[in-house]
Chains A and B, each alone.
Chain A
Amino acid sequence: MGVSAYAATVPTWMQDASGIGVAARAKAPGFELPDSSGRKHSLNSLMERRGLVLVFFRSADW
Chain B
Amino acid sequence: MYCKGQLGELQRDLPLFKQAGFGVAAISYDSVAALHDFAVRKGITFPLLSDHESLVIRSYGVADRRYRKLSQLDVDSSGEVPVYGLAYPSVFVLNPDGTVRWRFVSEHEELRLTAGSILARSVGQFPNQSPTPLDAGKIHLEIESTETFAGLGSRLTLGLELRIPVGWHVYGPQVGAEYHGTSWHMDASECFIDGDVDYPAPRWAHPAFAESKLPEYEGTIRLTREFVIVPMLSDMKSAILERFRKSCLDSDSRLHASGAFEFQVCSDRECLPPESVPLMWSFAFVPPDRTRVPVDLWRVFDH
Contacts and interface: CB of A to CB of B under 8 A. Distances in A.
Interface of A: 1, 3-4, 6-11, 13-14, 16-18, 20-31, 33-39, 41, 43, 46-62
Nearest to A6: B173
Interface of B: 1-4, 6-7, 10, 17-18, 20-30, 32, 34-39, 44, 47-51, 55-57, 59-62, 65, 75-76, 78, 81, 86-96, 98-109, 111, 118, 122, 155, 173-174, 183, 185, 193-199, 225-226, 228, 292-293, 297-299
Contacts of A33: 27, 49-51, 56
Contacts of B198: 3
B98 A28 contact: yes
Ranked nearest first, the 3 interchain pairs of A and B with the lowest CB-CB distance are A50-B21, A60-B38, A57-B3
Given A28-B60, A41-B25, A60-B48, 7 more contacts: A3-B173, A3-B199, A16-B105, A28-B92, A35-B35, A54-B93, A55-B91
A26 to B, nearest CB: 6
Nearest to B25: A46
B83 to A, nearest CB: 8
A59 B5 CA distance: 11
A34 B94 contact: no
6 contacts: A4-B196, A24-B100, A41-B47, A41-B49, A48-B23, A62-B1
B36 A37 contact: yes
A54 B21 contact: no
A11 B269 CA distance: 42
